[in-house]
Chain A
Amino acid sequence: EIVLTQSPGTLSLSPGERATLSCRASESISSSDLAWYQQRPGQAPRLLIFGAFARATGIPDRFSGSGSGSDFTLTISRLEPEDFAVYYCQHYGGSPKYTLGQGTKLEIK
């Protein structure tokens, strides 16, 4: 069973800074099966990145995904106030099974 570990647990940054969030899988996974979500307080999750690299419709280009094998990264190039939220990575595996990371909270410094 694949486990996704996100780091750091909490990231404190200021608007305008660059954010780098990590998602590590317990074994090598296909990039096509890796997605990232954003969840703002009191809201439903929103799909940001799918297939490890592709932005979902309407997602600003300051969000980018990268990585391969077992290490994946979500980068936000210049933080806007609305970007402070919790971010989850998700893997789609056999059976099928959807595995989610525990989340990274991005907070204002």
Chain B
Amino acid sequence: EVQLVEAGGGLVQPGGSLRLSCAASGFSVSYSHMGWVRQAPGKGLEWVSVIHERGDTYYSDSVKGRFTISRDNSKNTLSLQMNSLRVEDTAIYYCARDYVSPARFGYWGQGTLVTVSS
């Protein structure tokens, strides 16, 4: 059974950094397309970043240059390093895995809340 469990959320001041992790089980992250999707309080879903099976990484314009996605194949985990955090980065961050192709996310974690506030 595919399971994704996020961790690392919390309260951080504007300009600070935070690292999210996503522990995967039931499959190998090294053979999957994995991504992060966030949801600001009371708002819709917003794609943040993706790492493809070959290791290519991509980011939304809103986080490019500040966030870095990576994976640790030995630990079967996905990470999101978030630097220069802004108030508008406050959201629940979901880890997700592709479904059949990278065009959609078919497996989701429960999410971890990141709050950027002074």
Contacts and interface: CB of A to CB of B under 8 A. Distances in A.
B102 interface: yes
A46 B45 CA distance: 12
Contacts of B67: none
B110 A44 contact: yes
Contact of A98 (B35, B99, B100, B111): B35
Interface residues of B, number: 21
Contacts of A90: 45, 104
Contacts of A60: none
Contacts of A56: 99, 106
Interface in B101-118: 102-106, 108-111
A80 B60 CA distance: 36
Main secondary structure on B side of the interface with A: strand
B91 to A, nearest CB: 13
A86 to B, nearest CB: 8
A63 interface: no
B99 A44 contact: no
Contacts, number: 58
A99 B99 contact: no
B46 interface: yes
Interface in A6-49: 32-33, 35, 37, 39, 44-47
Contacts of B103: 32-33, 35, 50-51, 92
Interface of B: 35, 37, 44-47, 50, 58, 60, 94, 99-100, 102-106, 108-111
Interface of A: 32-33, 35, 37, 39, 44-47, 50-51, 56-57, 86, 88, 90, 92, 95-103
Given A47-B106, A99-B47, 11 more contacts: A44-B111, A47-B99, A50-B99, A56-B106, A88-B44, A90-B45, A97-B58, A98-B37, A100-B45, A100-B47, A103-B45
